[in-house]
Amino acid sequence: MIRRPPRSTQSRSSAASDVYKRQVVGLLLKDGAPAKEVQDTTAKHGYFVRLLDEASQHEPVLSAVASALSDPERLEQIRAALTAATPRARPTDKVTLRIGGRFPVESDAWHGWWRVFRKTLSRSADAGGSMLCLATGELVAPARTHPKINGLADVGGMGMGSSLVGYDKDAFQSYGLSQSENGAVSEQAAAEYRAALNDLIERHSRRLAGAKVAHWFTHSVPPEDDPLEWIETPQEAEQLAARQKANELLDSIRTGTRPNLQGNRYYALTISGAAGRAMVRDWMEGQFEDLVRNVTAWFDDLSIMRRDGSGLASPPKFMAVLGSTVRALDDLAAPSVTALWRSALTRGPIPGQFLAQALARARIDIIEDQNLNHARFGLIKAFHVRQGDSKVNPYLNEDHPSPAYHCGRLMAVYARLQYAALGDVGADEMLQRVGAEPSGEAFNAISLEPESGRPANPLINAGAILTTSLVRAADPAERFERILGCLSAFAGRPLTVDEDVFRSELATASRNRALAYLMASAGSLQGDVEETVAGVKRQHNVLSQLGVNPEEAFGYGVIEPLLQLRKDGVRKLARALGNKELGLRYSMENGRLSLELGGFGLGR
């Protein structure tokens, strides 16, 4: 910014952004302009010419401009050209100089002169004299206000700019200091940090949901070798190709074949707006070599099998990983973006909030029968890997030591059985009648959700009873035939009901009847109570032929505790599944999954 010449009516510290205006540069004055306006404009013009002359000691081409603007004849030609310009410009429009096809303002040659010149414009220190500049460490007269940062309007900032340093409220001020004296920075340093941030935001940043991230290196790195380019916009190449590229870079650093990468450092800034303020959310820096390793580990930890089992899914973009945790990207807050970005760049743990959000979205996908999201399940896997579970692989690990891991496999089979039996019952109808959360109570508790009258989930006794009633059929006999046909298809052989055992169990099903009558009174069960309870008992009878008596093996009639792994009952189930006698085995051939449990096969 250029300043006005000192005058008795004008403080040296007041702004003069109009010295570049057409009216000043070309001395464009209307006929009959007031004498004071003529005097002021002429003084500004002379001041502008003197500045050009001073700057020409460092940028010689400016000398010719200063001479032309001092020559009345040449000035008249310039004035005529400015007046005739199309489209017609206003007197207050700014003027930029172009000499020999280039713009001197883009040159660095005059910067040294400019820094010295600006110091002569600083106001005299008051209220105790000079202060220590927090940016440079020098004794300076601190700027009262700081220039605003541009480019943050789309991430919470203001269109007119956002303040990085500002003390515009009394609560921000102390010790009798005024405005930005509370965080002393010289005018020159404030102008320089503003110019640097504006350049970074405009030319070197990307928007990531509610924040912008910018990064750079000590020595220039081409985009194809930039690990942060990989993480923001990964190539569609296979994971192996990405790892090979990373290994080549690391080898070139170790062998010295890429000297520009040796000792190179990266710097990463995350910034967003908050009303009228610019908020630096995070700052990271480190060795380029460590960055390559960390970004490679990010993709390794996220790697997951494709839904069809044909190989690893393509590496997800960072925005896809973020988006997998929310309904819409607008729901992401800047602090959340910052936290996951730091995890990716530093190989740090993934915050627990992302696991909770990913699981919630995964449940919705399962309930609504949507395709499973690779980035979402990759993030769930990466969370556990970074918690220290080195046994979690992108594919099924049959040798995983945790029984809970294999509980999930069994639960998937039971869920598939249940949803296949429901057939044409839609997800919306299912959610209206049955919940999808752990009950926190015993599997056979006589309780429902207070407001909706729904069972907590389909895997407790109340849920099993209600989902049985949802299977569409003309009568109870047809309903059970549909269920039996589905179970027989999964078992790979015809299954039947042992009528003697069935009648014996039905005679002692008082608790199930109580649950059914409770749901009928709440309006959630709309079928016949006795026929529905009988249908459930017939299913138990058939399931016992698959080699598992849940009541005897686990102490549960159904596998509801698998939904909440902290329950004591799950520990019992996990121990039971860990026994060799139960023999849980998995295989897949031609896209067909087979699970063998207790000597009996379940196919799907």
Residues 140-151 have a mean pLDDT of: 88
Q: Where does the pLDDT of residue 125 fall: very low under 50, low under 70, confident under 90, or very high at 90 and above?
A: very low
Instruction: Give the pLDDT score at 478.
Output: 86
Residues 339-365 have a mean pLDDT of: 90
Q: Where does the pLDDT of residue 586 fall: very low under 50, low under 70, confident under 90, or very high at 90 and above?
A: very low
CA-CA distances (angstroms) from residue 340 to 349, 350, 355?
9, 7, 11
526: pLDDT strictly greater than 80: no
Residue 240 CB neighbour total at 10 angstroms: 9
Instruction: Give the pLDDT score at 445.
Output: 83
Options 3.40.80.10, 3.40.50.1370, 3.40.710.10, 3.40.50.720; CATH for 403-603 is 3.40.710.10
Residues 285-298 have a mean pLDDT of: 91
Residues in the chain: 604
| CA-based torsion, 588, 593, 599, 600: positive or negative | negative
- Structural tokens at position 563: 């939904």
Of residues 368 and 72, more confidently modeled = 72
Instruction: Give the pLDDT score at 557.
Output: 43
- Structural tokens at position 401: 């030591």
Task: Please answer whether residues 389 and 395 qualify as being in contact, where contact means their C-beta atoms are separated by less than 8 angstroms.
Answer: no
439: pLDDT strictly greater than 60: yes
15: pLDDT strictly greater than 60: no
Element (H, E) at 499: helix 499-507
Which three-class secondary structure string do you get for 258-314?
CCCCCCCEEEEEEEEEECCEEEEEEEEEEEHHHHHHHHHHHHHHHCCECCCCCCECC
107: pLDDT strictly greater than 50: yes
Instruction: Give the pLDDT score at 546.
Output: 57
Instruction: Give the pLDDT score at 246.
Output: 77
- Of 295, 302, 348, nearest to 321 (Cα)? 302
248: pLDDT strictly greater than 50: yes
- Structural tokens at position 581: 């006698």
- Alpha carbon 360 to chain centroid, angstroms: 16
Residues 158-186 have a mean pLDDT of: 82
Q: Where does the pLDDT of residue 243 fall: very low under 50, low under 70, confident under 90, or very high at 90 and above?
A: low
- Structural tokens at position 225: 């070798």
**Distance of alpha carbon 248 from alpha carbon 245, whole angstroms:** 5
Residues 99-110 have a mean pLDDT of: 82
538: pLDDT strictly greater than 90: no
Of residues 378 and 540, more confidently modeled = 378
**Distance of alpha carbon 267 from alpha carbon 308, whole angstroms:** 40
558: pLDDT strictly greater than 60: no
**Distance of alpha carbon 485 from alpha carbon 327, whole angstroms:** 38
Residues 44-50 have a mean pLDDT of: 87
Of residues 239 and 326, more confidently modeled = 326
Q: Where does the pLDDT of residue 121 fall: very low under 50, low under 70, confident under 90, or very high at 90 and above?
A: low
DSSP letter string, 135-176: TT-SEE-B-SS-PPBPS-GGGT--TT-BBSS---SGGG--TT
Instruction: Give the pLDDT score at 89.
Output: 67
Residues 208-232 have a mean pLDDT of: 86
Burial 330-340 (b: 16+ CB within 10 A, else e): eebebbbbbbb
Instruction: Give the pLDDT score at 328.
Output: 85
278: pLDDT strictly greater than 60: yes
377: pLDDT strictly greater than 80: yes
Pairing of β 585-589 and β 205-208: unpaired
Task: Please answer whether residues 280 and 267 qualify as being in contact, where contact means their C-beta atoms are separated by less than 8 angstroms.
Answer: no
**Distance of alpha carbon 364 from alpha carbon 431, whole angstroms:** 10
**Distance of alpha carbon 355 from alpha carbon 364, whole angstroms:** 14
- Of 141, 188, 182, nearest to 165 (Cα)? 182
Instruction: Give the pLDDT score at 604.
Output: 31
Instruction: Give the pLDDT score at 91.
Output: 73
- Of 587, 564, 562, 563, nearest to 573 (Cα)? 562
Q: Where does the pLDDT of residue 144 fall: very low under 50, low under 70, confident under 90, or very high at 90 and above?
A: confident
| CA-based torsion, 379, 381, 384, 388: positive or negative | negative
Q: DSSP letter at 592?
A: E
The model's pLDDT over 379-422, given as tens digits with 9 standing for 90+, comes to 999 999 999 887 778 877 777 777 666 666 666 666 566 666 66
Instruction: Give the pLDDT score at 555.
Output: 45
Q: DSSP letter at 525?
A: -
Residues 466-489 have a mean pLDDT of: 82
Mean pLDDT of the chain: 76
**Distance of alpha carbon 57 from alpha carbon 69, whole angstroms:** 17
* Sheet bearing 592-597, strands edge to edge: 585-589, 592-597, 600-603
Instruction: Give the pLDDT score at 152.
Output: 93
Domain residue extents for the chain: 17-119, 131-202, 208-395, 403-603
Task: Please answer whether residues 459 and 465 qualify as being in contact, where contact means their C-beta atoms are separated by less than 8 angstroms.
Answer: no
- Of 195, 117, 172, 178, nearest to 143 (Cα)? 178
- Structural tokens at position 450: 């207070």
| Residue carrying structure tokens 């009303």 | 275
- Alpha carbon 456 to chain centroid, angstroms: 32
